[in-house]
Structure 1
Amino acid sequence: MIVGVDEAGRGPLAGPVVAAAVLLCPEGIPGLDDSKKLSAKRRAELDIEIKARCRWGVGEASVAEIDGINILQATLLAMTRAVDALGFEPVEVLVDGNRLPRWRYTARAIVGGDALHPCISAASIVAKQHRDRYMVTAAREFPHFGWDTNMGYGTARHLAALRQHGPTPLHRTSFAPVAQMQLV
């Protein structure tokens, strides 16, 4: 009953921050690794396999929550929601990073944990896939920003579109590049 937790989307200028919690199946899943080290195709395949064979939950913190309580607190909130979405009380939670939410169960923060613990690797994959799907869908509504390829990060294309079109409701107004555009 050891659950891995990781997040996706702390750094982008737009979209929610997403966390996932995964309890691996007893036989494990071969090929798990930090989601950033996997190809998009392999991540998608593993996401399907994890969801079919493991217990998992996803939690989000909205743009309004990010702007209201800051990205760190919003990330911890998304992690709490992800563990709550599992529907059971874990014996222990392993979290990628150096910070933990205030939980009633045993938890450890592990820097680089997504490359060390398969349950965190699985959570990394599920969180990234969930957030990427969200941003690809959002790109249909706001095509100028290139979110289907940059996932909301501050690429040259995204920043140029931000200057030309201004922020959308999905932009994080507490992040400097977006806040600066609102002052213009």
Structure 2
Amino acid sequence: MGFFSAISRWFTKPAKPAPVVCQISATAEFNHKIGPLQRADVYEEPLTDFLEKLGAGEVDGGGTMQEQNGEIAWCDVHMFLQPSGNLIPSIIHFLERRGAPKGSKFKYDSADEIEQEIPFGLREGFGVYLDGVNLPDEVYRDCDINFVFEELNRLLAGHGSVESHWQGPTETALYVYGDSNAIMKPLIAGFLESYPLCRGARVVDLTPA
């Protein structure tokens, strides 16, 4: 399956109900523009194993939210947890080690039924939005977006990578995540300026500084 294969599943939720013994409803909301299959691989399945090993609760599915234009906005994973003073910090630490970006939020219901919110995330990211309609016809004919993907990953090696994409009606976005935007952006600046398909590309921060 190619990098630009269609995303076919936008929401998953297991059929089984949460066990009665789990008393805390919690949601990890990731500032991460990835689709359902990646969300499951990166967060849902590892978190399921993590909670099962601790006997501390279970994952209850996840979702991928979209902007009005169809672009991925963010994704989340819902869970039911056993009440424990150290559990939520442990989960947050685990999810940060899985790659949660800055701007993510952990939400849960407290004992007085007031929703609490904890910001978390360590990595930074930005989107490279390629113009899909305004460049000369020969640019689209002669250039290869897969080469852009490969070259960005080559230039970013050791610091970050293109983790997902979105193809809209007028732009194609490549979502880059890694250790620091301040480090990653200069590494690809020359390529974005020189490769015809990247002419006029927008580079937009996806995470807070």
Using the size of structure 1 for normalisation, the TM-score is: 0.29
Q: Which has the higher contact order (CA 8 A, sep 6+)?
A: 1
Select the structure that is richer in strand: 2
Bigger Cα Rg: 2
Name the one with the larger helix percent: 1
